[in-house]
Structure 1
Amino acid sequence: MLHTRKSLRDELLDEVFASPYAASALPKYRIPDDEHLPDRAHQIVVDELMLDGNSRQNLATFCQTWLEPQIQDIMARSIDKNMVDKDEYPQTAAIEERCVHIIADLWNSPEAAATMGTSTTGSSEAAMLGGMALLWKWRERRRAAGLPADRPNLVTGPVQVCWHKFARYWDVELREVPMADDRLLMTPEEALARVDENTIGVVPTLGVTFTGAYEPVSAISDALDQLERDTGLDVPMHVDAASGGFLAPFVTPDLVWDFRLPRVKSINASGHKFGLAPLGVGWIIWRDAADLPKDLIFDVNYLGGNMPSFALNFSRPAGQVVAQYYLLLRLGREGYRRVQQSCYDTAQHLAAEIAELGPFEIIHDGSPADGIPAISWRLKAGQEAPFTLFDLADRLRTRGWLVPAYSLPADCENTVVQRILVRHGFGRDEASLLMDDYRAAIAHFDSHPITVPMSEEEAGSFHH
């Protein structure tokens, strides 16, 4: 009995770190035998999370890391809502539909109020849905003409890994335009050189992952128009606007890259990048309902009502979609323009500061006419620096900054670049602190030259 009372008293004591549970570590690779009080289990998890990096200092990620407190509240209120269950949560479904039409209007859809589209878990899933629609429509055209439909290909510039996944998963030949020292993007000429009757589509990127620059969507469309006039070959386009889709409409609205080009049949974007929403939401919009094959739409009736589904995932949280709607209402065109322009201003300020350091050649300077608010650079050709970009990235990590260094894809594997993404929440003060640490890192290497340069594998950096 005394033992029971003592155990009960220990349970009721609220000093977490003086409790009996603090005297030993809980098992990490099997479930504990006993249950624990919620505050103690919570403290254990929170303490482990301290070992993660500070996401605001992660200048490698494209994803939004600063959120208004109202978004935190919206996410909490939506934690139990399943996006796929549109019968149980009809208002959330209506909010998703509104977002589709709002975004379609941003992208100059001819009939934004009747556009087909959906939210996804991110731009990678959205891109795959766009690729699948291109593949299915190509098969339809080939079979209707009595032609074989067994050797599809897709033409892209240097793309993010989701397109490599799409090509492998759906057995499509990926004709990726390789980089060259004097050309780091897909050009109209390079695209046309790879197009043939088996091309399901051409995918330019509005904000290439490796440099941040925009590919010339309108010029590629013009080249494909001329190809159709010359040969009768009609090749559609899908624009991967994972980053640029929530930038260009606000900061460079006269840049023609979207549904103003009739050849553009679909566009994907990431809501949790420059859409400013929490992690876990992307968007895919089709120009016309006819561009979304009916075979990709499934009718589901076992969630309480009959509803269409055309996402790769099924059950998924609705909070991110609701938060996206909040942001569209909260900021409006002018608010988004001000936020994004501020990012561009900071990026261009950083580009000038980095160029002044001496050893670097700027590849993309954060100009809104040319790309996203990012800066990418490499060491100047022939530059004798006492460090590599991998060494510099590693040194900056000691101050908490993740500024990735990585080699470019084929055929520029020997070119190493470094890149900074400027997102909402990273302002001039943070940029000033970063540049102080850059100068200190360079001064360190001037005094302690690297004798064995760090490799990319040792650096362990990532670029997405």
Structure 2
Amino acid sequence: MSDYPYAGRFPVQRRLPDQGRPREELLAELAAMAAEEDAFWETGKCSGTMYCGDHDHYAFLARAFERFAHVNALQRDLCPSATKFEGEIVAMALDLFHGGPGAVGLVTTGGTGSILHAVLAYREHAADRLGGRRPNVIKPETAHPAFDKACHLFGVELRRAPIDPVTTRVDLDWVADHIDDATVALIGSACNYGYGTVDPIAELGSLALERGVGLHVDGCLGGFILPFGEELGYGVAPFDFRVPGVTSISADTHKYGYAFKGTSTVLFADKALRDAQYFFLTDWSGGKYCSPGMEGSRSGGLLAATWASMVSLGRAGYRRYAAEIFSVAAAMQDAVRSHEELRVLGDPTFLFSFTSEAFDVYHVNDFLRDRGWRLNGQQYPNAVHMAVTRPQTQPGVAEAWAADLAGAVAYAREHAGSTPKSGAIYGGVAGGMTDEADAFIKAVMADLLDRQSGLPPEPAAP
């Protein structure tokens, strides 16, 4: 990636211009950048990221968005449409996840937002019971780092449960042994980001009921596709409010809900849990303030576009796309299993991960990157994963995967004695989990924010 993207092609804005530039000129620059960046994922060789990949669908959502882009969803008296959109998005999600009488929810800004709201709700709901003691939640190590972030921000103790290295599902005995009277919630993933596997939600639910704690199911990734995989007979076990003990669910509309980035849902089995995370300030000189979520101003356009995506597709549309994705994911997994040197981790769904005991699997990744594939790297053990989305369902992509993977395995055998070029893209550092690894990642982030997102040096004066 260039340190200063597009600096050699388009003007660099170092300050607010005295006079604005022509709109047509700006739109032409935006069109050029968008077309070039879209050309990569349009090949179908990009894991995750672009969940729909249908420009007609995006154009439809853009038309819905533009009608309400300028509207602030905070001002419901001026834009009652936001109340309609948000209420119906939540209702459709609750229907999909079998929410019972009294189940409620919120629309948030994304998966992290939904997880933050859930952890905050559990902390606040238990505050009186704990009497000032620090609450804790227990998550599988594989559950999303947003739980770690939420606990860090809200002062909640996080207990990370190990997983079974074969199934990649959480160790239930460890969870049971680490619940105490300050535990407010257990976490299960449906499915987890790393391996595409679903934790034993029914067993976690039984444990939560037995010990009197909450159970949050993180369906941010799989929430809007796994229910249709279940309907299609792909062996997806119930993970939603049908499972006794499940008290909240997060599910991203901006992933397999095929909405624009910036929306998710967090759903609660009862109002008391949702209401606990409200913020009130009734003695402010500016008036009585109450915020149902952490965000203040939000664009009504995102609510309108999300609503339009869900209503336009309907169950039949989601089921049709899920059938295509699950079918291609199965074919791509079969290609991996056809090589004795590779091992698929656990029993995955539409997302799968694989490793190798014969060589460093990042050699496979190196070869595939040269063939235009963008996979996600993992660590402990070294592995790579593919999240299958609609772009992979294009004709010929699964066949290209099988052919390129065969070449990658041959390349990895040949280079087994050397060090691969790639690694765990989300932060793996040679040497394992050490202080040096933390320092390295901080340096990477500083480089990204301070240099790559900065401006190129000004040209020298003539």
- TM normalised by structure 1 equals 0.79
| Residue of structure 2 aligned with 1:249, choices 208, 223, 227 | 227
State the shift of 1:341 in Å.
2.1
Are 1:267 and 2:249 counterparts? yes
Relative to structure 1, is the Cα distance of residues 76 and 450 closer, same or farther in structure 2, using a 3 angstrom cutoff? Answer: farther
Determine the structure 1 residue equivalent to 2:130.
142
What secondary structure sits across from 1:103 in the alignment? Answer: helix
Relative to structure 1, is the Cα distance of residues 23 and 243 closer, same or farther in structure 2, using a 3 angstrom cutoff? Answer: closer
Are 1:66 and 2:44 counterparts? no
Counterpart residue type for residue 292 of structure 1: R
Relative to structure 1, is the Cα distance of residues 307 and 330 closer, same or farther in structure 2, using a 3 angstrom cutoff? Answer: farther
Relative to structure 1, is the Cα distance of residues 197 and 87 closer, same or farther in structure 2, using a 3 angstrom cutoff? Answer: same
Determine the structure 2 residue equivalent to 1:277.
259
What secondary structure sits across from 1:136 in the alignment? Answer: helix
Are 1:376 and 2:353 counterparts? yes
Determine the structure 2 residue equivalent to 1:16.
none
Determine the structure 1 residue equivalent to 2:193.
209
Distance across 1 between alignment mates of 2:76 and 2:150 = 28
Are 1:98 and 2:88 counterparts? yes
Relative to structure 1, is the Cα distance of residues 98 and 460 closer, same or farther in structure 2, using a 3 angstrom cutoff? Answer: closer
| Residue of structure 2 aligned with 1:348, choices 315, 330, 333 | 330
Give unpaired runs (5+ residues) of structure 2.
1-6, 429-462
Are 1:108 and 2:98 counterparts? yes
What secondary structure sits across from 1:377 in the alignment? Answer: strand
Determine the structure 1 residue equivalent to 2:177.
193
Counterpart residue type for residue 397 of structure 1: R
State the shift of 1:244 in Å.
2.5
Determine the structure 1 residue equivalent to 2:41.
55
Determine the structure 1 residue equivalent to 2:397.
430
Determine the structure 2 residue equivalent to 1:40.
25
State the shift of 1:83 in Å.
2.6
What secondary structure sits across from 2:238 in the alignment? Answer: coil
Q: Is the 8 A contact 2:220 2:251 kept in 1?
A: yes
Distance across 2 between alignment mates of 1:260 and 1:461 = 34
User: How many corresponding residue pairs?
Assistant: 410
Q: Is the 8 A contact 1:187 1:215 kept in 2?
A: no
Determine the structure 2 residue equivalent to 1:126.
114
Relative to structure 1, is the Cα distance of residues 460 and 142 closer, same or farther in structure 2, using a 3 angstrom cutoff? Answer: closer
State the shift of 1:193 in Å.
1.4
State the shift of 1:351 in Å.
0.6
| Residue of structure 2 aligned with 1:315, choices 266, 289, 297 | 297
What secondary structure sits across from 1:246 in the alignment? Answer: coil
Structure index of larger Rg: 1
| Residue of structure 1 aligned with 2:383, choices 393, 412, 417 | 417
Determine the structure 2 residue equivalent to 1:165.
149
* Percent identity for Structure 1 against Structure 2: 21
What secondary structure sits across from 1:292 in the alignment? Answer: helix
Give unpaired runs (5+ residues) of structure 1.
1-21, 144-148, 229-233, 367-371, 408-412
Q: Is the 8 A contact 1:104 1:285 kept in 2?
A: yes
Determine the structure 2 residue equivalent to 1:397.
369
Q: Is the 8 A contact 1:339 1:424 kept in 2?
A: yes
What secondary structure sits across from 2:399 in the alignment? Answer: helix
Distance across 2 between alignment mates of 1:151 and 1:306 = 30
Relative to structure 1, is the Cα distance of residues 77 and 393 closer, same or farther in structure 2, using a 3 angstrom cutoff? Answer: farther
What secondary structure sits across from 2:249 in the alignment? Answer: strand
Counterpart residue type for residue 44 of structure 1: E
Counterpart residue type for residue 324 of structure 2: S
Q: Is the 8 A contact 2:104 2:270 kept in 1?
A: yes
Distance across 2 between alignment mates of 1:24 and 1:204 = 47
Determine the structure 2 residue equivalent to 1:221.
205
What secondary structure sits across from 2:392 in the alignment? Answer: coil
Distance across 2 between alignment mates of 1:270 and 1:39 = 35
What secondary structure sits across from 2:257 in the alignment? Answer: coil
- TM normalised by structure 2 equals 0.80
Determine the structure 1 residue equivalent to 2:3.
none
Determine the structure 2 residue equivalent to 1:80.
70
What secondary structure sits across from 2:391 in the alignment? Answer: coil
